[in-house]
A and B are shown apart, each in its own frame.
Chain A
Amino acid sequence: MSSSVSITLNQCSRTFAGGNTALQPLDLEVNAGETLVLLGPSGCGKTTTLRIISGLESPDNGGQVLFGERDVTALPIEKRDVGMVFQNYALFPNMSVADNIAYGLKIQRLPRGEITHRLDEVMRMVDLQGFGDRRIDALSGGQKQRVALARAIAVRPKVLLFDEPLAALDAKLRDRLRIEIGLLLRELGTTAVYVTHDQDEAMALGDRIAVMQAGRIAQLGTPQEIYHQPANAFVADFIGAVNCLEVISTRADGGLVVHGGELNAAHLQGASTVYCRPEDILVVPLDQADVSGKVVQSIFLGQTQRLLVDTGGATPLQIEAPSRQRWPEGTAIGLKLPSNVLFHPDTPATTINAKEMANG
């Protein structure tokens, strides 16, 4: 629709009154037309980053925000040409649906015909035809967020910013709206920054994901990179479920001795811990198993089931198994952990911190 623009943050930090640092000096590049998701637990600095991009907050001295080649650091939000979607919708209660959507167009003093044309266009895009005269309080949560979305895209902003837009909706609606937002962003081709704490949302929408932790970017990469090659234990733990196996000793032939068996992982020599995802572990006959243990609990999830297997380690292993098979509690079970699914983040020392962060 509009020619898209890249976003560059140079050394943007944010310290609040009282010395509380919300954001460590941050460098970030969002490519033109790309959707970047800022993902992390609450208090990780993702919303602060978004607000610095929007112009609602200023970075500390020395920080710089660029839209394309243009330095917008000193510009307030109303001059930045951004569209913003909020978690609580932030619709004007005293205006109708159409007046809400057309608000930015009226501020721009567009001719009446153009306003009507754009109104029709965006209402069609978010599937709200015929809702123009409705009052805001007569809408459901999903409809409200569509109105907010339409209002943000109606002004054809250079940059679209989303602040946890689906967090207030129920699961089913969230899934549907997530798909629609994804399609819309693809269609518009507008550069977008999307803040969420929901990893599914991040995976589905992000061309790239920046996982944030304690005011820093822990990892920046495609959803595949983030999931399969997490840069550290925090990322591994925050995105999806992960098993952490303690390496007791290393054999001369390269085998890693862990609780309940031995792993063959030549590429992980010297590691003190080894990680793998529950869905990558295979259930095999006991005589072919790398690791064996006893089923502690099985949690039926519908399409799969989650088995908790005690192999003698501190925490039971989580395994994703086919849902039709039955493993009563106490059953001895053999597990295969192929070497290509085992990984080892660079900084295993942060494991405990990361767990605490994720839980708190």
Chain B
Amino acid sequence: MKAVSKQPYGAASSLTHRVALASQPRRQNLIALCALLPALVVFCAFWLLPFSRLIVMGAEADRSSGISAYLTILTHRQYLISLVTTVGISLVVSITAVAIAGIAGFFLARQRFFGKAVLVAILTFPLAFPGVVVGFLVIMLGGRQGALAQASLWLFGERWMFAYSLAGLFIGYLYFSIPRVITTVMAACDNLDQSLEEAARSLGANTWQVTKDVIIPGIAPALLSTGAICFATSMGAFGTAFTLGTRLSILPLNIYGEFTNYANFAMAAALSVVLGVITWIALSIARRLAGGNLGASA
């Protein structure tokens, strides 16, 4: 929700700011600059300097290939596969989470029943867990000694496992994505104008048509922004992946591996930059789409 609401307000305030600056004397600009100085210093020291260092470092020669680490990512299968896998699983997780939790969130927002508050509290509880614990939970479910393995051993005489594969990662990511989507969708549904649905129904629209023409467009900004946040979280989730196994080839684990195991700083830096840029692009696209839609409903 945060990402959605920020956009229009931000745009409006920067506009008034610009107008104000143009019509005020220079002294005021100076005061404004002084006021901004601490923020600028912090920005430079903790963001600009390390990040530019990271970008430059990524351009240095990779230890194994001998060419620029950025180029290595694009030319070496191992890194490309890791990149595609990470983006792919994040996308699938985001879409699945939005689909499942979108429906659940809408249901929870609209229905009143006994124990609803408790149910919502339980559903959003995973937000309190760090990634390591989520990974641990997945192992309890689908690991060597997990519930599924125990059940299949008893029934069919063999251990079924999924925890240490991409499937386990998918379940883990889904686990911490769903609560985010549910809370966002519930808030968005509360803000939906009920008379829009009543108007559509008065014109003859059935439940499906009301959902398609009124409800989904109405909560689309929320779905997009929460989906983008799920994507960003999944792209960078380290704890869960690390708990499930270091053999998984995904970006956060690669960065960790290059950095600590091979001391290949150039590659670690390049992978970090790529991860950051992809996530940032996803977030800004979603923010723009959501912002545009929000403007229409205001």
Name A's B-contacting residues (CB within 8 A). Answer: 54, 56, 76-79, 81-84, 86, 88, 90-94, 103-104, 107-108, 135-137, 148, 151-152, 155, 161
Residues of A close to B298: CB separation below 8 A: 93, 137
Given contact pairs A83-B203, A152-B202, enumerate 12 new A-B contacts (beta carbons under 8 Å): A78-B206, A84-B198, A90-B195, A91-B199, A92-B200, A93-B218, A94-B218, A94-B293, A104-B204, A135-B296, A137-B297, A137-B298
B214 touches A (CB below 8 Å): yes
B33 touches A (CB below 8 Å): no
Binary CB contact string for chain B from 221 to 265 against chain A (1 if under 8 A, 0 otherwise): 000000000000000000000000000000000000000000000
> Are B202 and A78 in contact, with the CB atoms below 8 A?
yes
Which single member of A76, A151, A161 contacts B203 (CB below 8 Å)? A151
Count chain B CB atoms within 10 A of each CB in A78, A88, A135 and give the residue with the most: A78
Identify whether the interface residues of A are mostly helix, strand, loop, or mixed: mixed
Which single member of A56, A79, A92 contacts B213 (CB below 8 Å)? A92
> Are B203 and A56 in contact, with the CB atoms below 8 A?
no
Known: A107-B209, A135-B296. A86 touches B198 (CB 8 A): yes
> Are A103 and B203 in contact, with the CB atoms below 8 A?
yes
> Are B296 and A82 in contact, with the CB atoms below 8 A?
no
User: Nearest 3 CB-CB pairs, A to B?
Assistant: A104-B203, A90-B195, A90-B199
Which single member of B198, B202, B203, B297 contacts A94 (CB below 8 Å)? B297
| Complex: chain A residue closest to B296, CB-CB | A93
Sample 19 A-B pairs with CB under 8 A, ordered by A number. Answer: A77-B198, A77-B201, A77-B202, A79-B204, A82-B202, A86-B198, A86-B199, A90-B198, A91-B196, A92-B199, A93-B297, A93-B298, A107-B204, A108-B204, A137-B295, A137-B297, A151-B199, A155-B204, A161-B202
Residues of B close to A93: CB separation below 8 A: 217-218, 296-298
Residues of A close to B296: CB separation below 8 A: 93-94, 135-137
Residues of B close to A108: CB separation below 8 A: 204
B190 touches A (CB below 8 Å): no
Bound-complex Cα distance A56 to B202 (A): 9
Bound-complex Cα distance A84 to B195 (A): 10
Residues of B close to A135: CB separation below 8 A: 296
Identify whether the interface residues of B are mostly helix, strand, loop, or mixed: helix
Known: A135-B296, A137-B296. A92 touches B204 (CB 8 A): no
Residues of A close to B295: CB separation below 8 A: 137
Residues of A close to B198: CB separation below 8 A: 56, 77, 84, 86, 90
> Are A88 and B204 in contact, with the CB atoms below 8 A?
no
B205 touches A (CB below 8 Å): yes
B158 touches A (CB below 8 Å): no
| Complex: chain B residue closest to A155, CB-CB | B203
| Complex: chain B residue closest to A135, CB-CB | B296
Known: A92-B213, A94-B217. A84 touches B204 (CB 8 A): no
> Are A86 and B195 in contact, with the CB atoms below 8 A?
yes
A159 to chain B, nearest CB (A): 10
Bound-complex Cα distance A90 to B198 (A): 8
| Complex: chain B residue closest to A81, CB-CB | B204
> Are B193 and A88 in contact, with the CB atoms below 8 A?
yes
Residues of B close to A148: CB separation below 8 A: 199
Bound-complex Cα distance A86 to B205 (A): 17
Known: A107-B209, A135-B296. A88 touches B195 (CB 8 A): yes
A138 to chain B, nearest CB (A): 10
| Complex: chain B residue closest to A79, CB-CB | B204
Which residues of B from 182 to 222 have beta carbons under 8 Å from A?
193, 195-196, 198-206, 209, 213-214, 217-218
Residues of A close to B199: CB separation below 8 A: 84, 86, 90-92, 148, 151
B147 to chain A, nearest CB (A): 42
Bound-complex Cα distance A93 to B199 (A): 13
Residues of B close to A79: CB separation below 8 A: 204
Residues of B close to A103: CB separation below 8 A: 200, 203, 205, 213
> Are B203 and A107 in contact, with the CB atoms below 8 A?
yes
Bound-complex Cα distance A155 to B205 (A): 12
B123 to chain A, nearest CB (A): 25
